[in-house]
Amino acid sequence: MRSWNAQRRTTLLAVSAVVLLTAACSSANKQTGDSGVSGGGGSANNSSRGVSDDSIKIAGDLSETLGGNPTGNADVDLGTKARFYVTNQAGGINGRKINYIGSVDDGGSAATLLANVRKQVLDQKVFAISPFDTYAPVDASFFNDQSVPTFGDIISYAACGSKWFFGSDGCVENPTFAETTSVAAIAQYMTGKAPDPTTGAITAPVASDNPPPAGNSYAVITSSNLAQIIPTLKVAAKHVGWDACDYNATVPPSGVTDFSSFAGSIMRSCDGGKGPSVMLYVLPSTQYNVNMLRAMRGLGWKGQAEFAGFDPASLQSADLAPTLEGSIYYDDGVGFEGPDNKATYDQIRSALAGVGKPGTTISQGILAGWQSADLIVQGLTKVGKDLTPANLDKVLNSGWDTPGIAGFSSALSFPTSHTHPAPCWNIAKVESGKYVQATTFTCGQVLNSKTGAVVSGGAAK
Amino acid sequence: MNQFIGLIISGLVGGALFAMISVGLVTTYITTGIFNFSQGSVAFACAFAFMELHLAAHIPTIASAAITVLIIAPAMGIGLEAWVFRHLSRAPEQARIVGTVGLALAIPAAVQICLTEVTHIPGAHVIAPAVSNPIALGPTPTRSWNLGHGILFNSNQLIILGFAALTALAYWYILKHTRIGLEMRAAVDGHQLARIRGVKLARVSRYAWIMSFISAGLVGVCGSILLGLGSDSYLVLLFVSAAAAVIGGLRSVPLAFAGGLILGVLENLVSGYVQRGPLAQVAGLGSAAPFVALLGGLWLMSRRRGRVAGTAAAASDAPVALIPPAKSWRNRTGFLVLAVVAVVVYYSVGELWQGVFNQGLAMSVIFLSFVVSTGLGGIVTLGQAAFVTCGGLLAGWFSGSYGFPLWLAAIFAIAAAIVAGVLVALPAIRLSGLQLALATLALAYIFDQLIFEIPAVGNQANGWFLARPRIGSLSFHAESRFGIVLFLALLIVIVLVRNFELSQTGRSVLATRGSRWGAASSGVSIVKARLIVFAVSAAIAAVGGLLLGQTLTEVTAASNPPLSALLWVTIVITIGIRRPAGAVLAGMSSSIFPQLLGYLTTSTQWPALLFGLGAVGLAQNPGGILELHRAQYHWVVRHVAQVWDRHRGGGLVLATAGAPVDFAATPVVDGAQLNGSDAARRTHSADRQRQADNGELPALFVENLRAGYGELEILHGVNLSARGGSITALFGMNGSGKSTLCSVLAGTVDAREGTVFLNGQDASDLGGVDRLRSGLFVVTESRSIFPGLTVEDNLRLTLRTSAEISKVLALFKELQARRDTPAGMLSGGEQQLLAMAPAMVLAPRILVADEPTLGLAPQARERILGLCQALRDRGTAVLLIEERPGEVFDIADDVALIRLGRIEWQRPRSEVSAQTLVNSFLSVTT
């Protein structure tokens, strides 16, 4: 046995030697981004990855499902396609047409996302990534190594630090800054007044045609992977002059079969058992949100339900729609359809017809896709004819202000918006089974999440 | 108080889902020995069938539900029973676990692939529309009622509770009051005896599967409202139901049902009451509660000395293969060539594929941990993901939060994983097989829900960035450079694993696996061996997790959820885990395969489907694809050797040096010999048939019988006869082959050569039912009764009509008096009476009784022998097999002596004197 072991060891040593020699020889020749410096590497000559004389290759990454449950992100691809269609019809960007090869699903898994992005950049050689709407935690090192401009709804905080990520609402999840939009939105809705431009406070009393809860208290139910938004929401609530309920529990991301224990707990933590005046529901699927809402209503809760984003499919469901009647939806990305943005919505509808999907219900996914596609179009137009990652970095990161679309999407300013959120919002209400715009697109202030101090103010649109 | 009641009521609803799954689990486990890990996935498939029927075909919900539960679910059950479960039930336990785990992954993948791929066909959204929200079975909108004091209830919950009650009632009725239920209970109570008594075990299994699939279908139809559309929650449902089944001791259906309800309530109470206070941050406390219960239940089960699981296939684990011998010189060169080729390929492909290979290398390290735990230790571990996450996440946490250099953080992380491994091993020391697999899974979930959910550990769900190594100014960040690190790490781990296998500890692990008692009596400590296996496996998995995290540059608490460990098990079993080479091949496949598939299809479910099916197909072959091919190669070699030798006219020489000895393989028999005896047999049986028809043959005639177990032959050519209307007494000492002969006659052991004639008919191909019909009634050694069934149930199993049962009870007053007592509680004499009583009514042509008077009081012995005489007077051929002559000698008409597997003589009693008997027993030749 001993001699066998020795023979084995010799073999292994021999093999290792071969490997090391080959590695040393070949890696001296290759220079694929091994410096590890953020944003460095990549060839910097005229021919750029994914860019030819007449086309720009773009691909997207989405989380279409999370734990198997559909997230509603599948439509983002369609919205992107529609927006690119409009640009291509008008001649493209500086003479180049956009070659959008579609988006890939990562199911919320970081490993899948990385594999997808690697394939898109290294194999399919795209120039940029758009849309980028994923729930998977993002690690920026690959994007930095390969200089991949990425435009989308940047949710993951890890992506905020990189100069290559351009979020259509800025950096939404930076824990330094408070999550103000949902609170400000609902406060504005319930009082009928926009926040004070200087202090951001909403001091008017609750309008009388809304069910009058006793006191103005605010609570949120969310899943554990978004637990960090809870303390920032409390700061935001205080900022508008409301009370935040002392409730911190979260639901496991895979959901539970029964929400009554959570419902009971929230009722007891707020207002001596009456529950919060407003409650924000941010659970992974509409079904869970509705189950939770039912549990609350069953306990006699009379407050206002607030949902993030909106989900037309749920209004088609005979089971879910009745519970959702009277709920508020706020969106901090795009404006709901109303008189102030009708032109944009008409444009979206005709673009959808142009890509072969006339009459599609405009869902939140389509709007999000449209919005981030609009951003990349603005950005690439500004970079000009010399379209390389290095030039894009130079042009867009040295001071790029984009006004957004009137009544529809927020104004951004890079490089600040790499790390700051764009605090804009608007509200729709579910009335007779349809979404009806309740407030127009309004922008507010960025607050420090610990102290509540105003960091920057946004002009109301 | 109101909160308490409210939590209980709503907890019962979740519990009802668990209960419905767990009764199916227990029923199929006790009747077939297969613990169906795919029960939750079946519910998932039924949920989608229900939804698609409603959405696509516009069938109203109630009708869709009925079609799903009454047609689709049973059809699935019958199909899977024929295709998978029938074969699995004969496989070793490890195979049964892995096979159903593979199915658990393959079924949802198949459903999702169908739905995804179908959307690519134009117009297909009409046939299979996408489902965005679950569909309620009850009225929409949902009706709800406030029961006062803050307790609420809605129509969906009512439906679930209703279905659960219906399931409970149905199972109770079927098991207690129908024939098939009686046969199920009998099969559980005494597997062999049930076969002898004519229970068709295949039919019983099929009914058990249909029952369990129907209850899974019910869960799918009414539970999707609560469970959602993700397949993961149905797998979690299964695991909690497994905990409920364990509460029932994996044996009792009513207890399993109650266990499901209890767990639902427990989970709700825990999440309800811990929401205030410091533990509120830990979201998973409620969902971890059932797994704690599962662990507790398993531990309790292991302490119970008595019989645990019911019938469970008699097949023991496949014999442990010896450690493969050293490779020949020729093989090692091949290995070197392969390595050089691999290196050349690696450095010529682009960065994309280098990344893919790197991930494969990291996964190979993880799979090497399976070589230790499953390949060497024989433990199917379903919880490896916890150790993998430990390695990466804790290293990230220590270095990210506390600023340790990564190498130091890695050491701490690996140490933590080893501690975790020991903690897993300690409560599981006494467990084996299925219970151990469940325990490892439970522990993985507990880790996942409790420890990894702590916000600080997971960096608020953002995860940690893991940097690749850097030595001075030399950075290993580039894919090609990092590949070297991975390759070296893999080599080191392989060497360590091989050294471990060959070390004394490794051999002691192998010894305890082969035979626990043998190992214990040789002084090998089972406790130590098991702890070390878990510790080493955990350490390797942690190293793998760290390397994987560096390959992907980040690790989060959700990077490797417990369910991913299931997929790993299927991959590694499909490819082969006996050797490190299998682990490496599995690791590379797990990374390369999905990448290749990505060029062909957009669905991400194919790996789960293909590896799942692979696990199902290859579960029986623990060497996986690697050994399957090796076995085929060797088979070809042997076959060629046979043909060659036959040409040369010589004997058979197997020239396969170096092949591992595999006792489970069917022995190679020279074709010529077999054919010869078949032909001879045929002519003989034609003769015998003629003789029987002429009335010349005795009722029972055994000719030249050879039989045995495995490699051991016990009967070396037995010739025996018993005529109708006579008592033949067969005497023999212990070990002479009496019981084996009885088993052959009963049909539970096959004859290898020779023939058994029952009434002139060749009985070789007859099963239990047919032997009964030929008029054979067998009373085996140690009481042929079902101890767990009542006296009446015992009779009902053997006698078909209630008229016959009444006759028996009338004949035997003592049985009448105890008709509702479990047979196990009768006295020895009463039990033997119960065993033989049916014969009085059935009037068999042949009665074979093995040691009928053993252990009985004199009065009881008299009674039994009186029965035999009564039967003889009616014309039955009675064969009594006894060790001591005693009173049997006195009533016998013919006497025979069996010694060392042969009948020495058979003579009429008149020709046998007491001295003859004594001489024979003392082996004195006269």
Q: What is the pLDDT of residues B547-575, one digit of tens each?
A: 999 998 888 888 888 888 888 988 888 88
User: Phi/psi class of residue B349: alpha, beta or left (left: φ > 0; alpha: ψ in -120 to 50)?
Assistant: beta
pLDDT band at A443 (very low <50, low <70, confident <90, very high): confident
| Residue A61 contacts B, CB cutoff 8 Å | no
For residue B378, the model assigns a pLDDT of 80
pLDDT band at A193 (very low <50, low <70, confident <90, very high): low
Answer yes or no: is pLDDT of A202 > 60. no
B673 burial type by CB count under 10 A (0-12 exposed, 13-18 middle, 19+ buried): exposed
Mean per-residue pLDDT, A150-163: 83
Q: For an interface test with A, give the residue of B54, B329, B462 to mutate (most A CBs within 10 A).
A: B462
Mean per-residue pLDDT, B39-43: 95
**Partner B, chain A 378-407, Cβ-Cβ below 8 Å:** none
More confident position, B543 or B146: B543
Average pLDDT of chain B is 82
Average pLDDT of chain A is 78
**Dihedral over alpha carbons A279, A280, A284, A285 (to 10 degrees):** 70
Q: How far is A320 from chain B (nearest CA, A)?
A: 7
More confident position, A268 or B602: A268
The residue written with tokens 């039989």 in the block is B707
Answer yes or no: is pLDDT of B124 > 70. no
Q: Which CATH class is domain A181-331+424-457?
A: alpha beta
Q: How far is A204 from chain B (nearest CA, A)?
A: 33
Chain B residues with CB inside 8 Å of A65's CB?
Answer: 230
Find which of A168-177, A233-242, B237-246, B323-332 is predicted with most confidence, using mean pLDDT. B237-246
pLDDT in tens, B528-539: 888 888 999 999
Domain boundaries, chain A: 55-172+342-418, 181-331+424-457
User: Phi/psi class of residue B855: alpha, beta or left (left: φ > 0; alpha: ψ in -120 to 50)?
Assistant: left
Q: For an interface test with B, give the residue of A230, A257, A360 to mutate (most B CBs within 10 A).
A: A257
Residue A8 half-sphere exposure toward CB, CA atoms < 13 A? 15
pLDDT band at B77 (very low <50, low <70, confident <90, very high): very high
**Angle, to 10 degrees, between the axis of helix B39-57 and the axis of helix B201-227?**
60
For residue B394, the model assigns a pLDDT of 92
Residue of B nearest to A325 (CA): B141
- A27 close to B351: Cβ distance less than 8 angstroms: no
pLDDT band at A7 (very low <50, low <70, confident <90, very high): low
Q: How far is A444 from chain B (nearest CA, A)?
A: 27
For residue B645, the model assigns a pLDDT of 67
- B445 close to B438: Cβ distance less than 8 angstroms: no
Chain A residues with CB inside 8 Å of B232's CB?
Answer: 67-68, 254
More confident position, A164 or B455: A164
pLDDT in tens, B202-213: 899 999 999 999
Answer yes or no: is pLDDT of A2 > 50. no
Answer yes or no: is pLDDT of B427 > 70. yes
Find which of A333-337, B42-46, B289-293 is predicted with most confidence, using mean pLDDT. B42-46
Q: How far is A19 from chain B (nearest CA, A)?
A: 6
| Residue A371 contacts B, CB cutoff 8 Å | no
Would you call A70 and B130 a contact, using CB atoms and an 8 Å cutoff? yes
Question: What's phi and psi for B691, nearest 5 deg?
Answer: -65, -40
DSSP string, A370-406: HHHHHHHHHHHHHH-S---HHHHHHHHTT-EEE---T
Chain B residues with CB inside 8 Å of A63's CB?
Answer: none
Residue in B146, B268, B481 nearest the CB of A34: B481
| Residue A33 contacts B, CB cutoff 8 Å | yes
pLDDT band at B282 (very low <50, low <70, confident <90, very high): low
Proportion of chain B above pLDDT 90, given as a percent: 23
Distances (CA, A) of A117 to A77, A396, B348: 16, 22, 21
A–B: how many Cβ contacts below 8 A? 263
Q: How far apart are CA A347 and CA B878, in angstroms?
A: 97
Would you call A114 and B552 a contact, using CB atoms and an 8 Å cutoff? yes
* Lowest mean pLDDT across A289-293, B13-17, B576-580, B663-667: B663-667
Find which of A271-285, B15-29, B115-129, B417-431 is predicted with most confidence, using mean pLDDT. B15-29
Distances (CA, A) of B163 to A259, B157, B501, B886: 21, 10, 52, 61
Domain A55-172+342-418 has CATH 3.40.50.2300: yes
| Complex ipTM value | 0.76
Helix H or strand E segment including B908 = strand B902-908
Would you call A119 and B554 a contact, using CB atoms and an 8 Å cutoff? no
Mean per-residue pLDDT, A149-155: 88
- B387 close to B538: Cβ distance less than 8 angstroms: yes
HEC string of B848-876?
EEECCCCCCCHHHHHHHHHHHHHHHHCCC
**In 3-state terms, what secondary structure has residue B779?**
strand
Q: How far is A134 from chain B (nearest CA, A)?
A: 13
Look at residues B208, A284, B233, A90 and name the one whose alpha carbon lies nearest to residue B199. B208
Q: How far is B594 from chain A (nearest CA, A)?
A: 10
DSSP B391: I
**Partner B, chain A 262-281, Cβ-Cβ below 8 Å:** 262, 264-265, 267-269
Residue in B132, B351, B453 nearest the CB of A70: B132
**In 3-state terms, what secondary structure has residue B328?**
coil
Answer yes or no: is pLDDT of A16 > 50. yes
For residue B666, the model assigns a pLDDT of 37
Answer yes or no: is pLDDT of B325 > 60. no
Look at residues A51, A53, A33 and name the one whose alpha carbon lies nearest to residue A43. A33
More confident position, A399 or B304: A399
Answer yes or no: is pLDDT of A397 > 50. yes
> Length of chain B in residues, anyone?
926
Q: How far apart are CA B165 and CA B20, in angstroms?
A: 9
Would you call A110 and B460 a contact, using CB atoms and an 8 Å cutoff? no
**CATH topology match: A55-172+342-418 vs A181-331+424-457:** yes
Residue in B336, B475, B595 nearest the CB of A11: B336
pLDDT in tens, B734-757: 888 888 899 889 888 888 888 888
For residue B686, the model assigns a pLDDT of 62
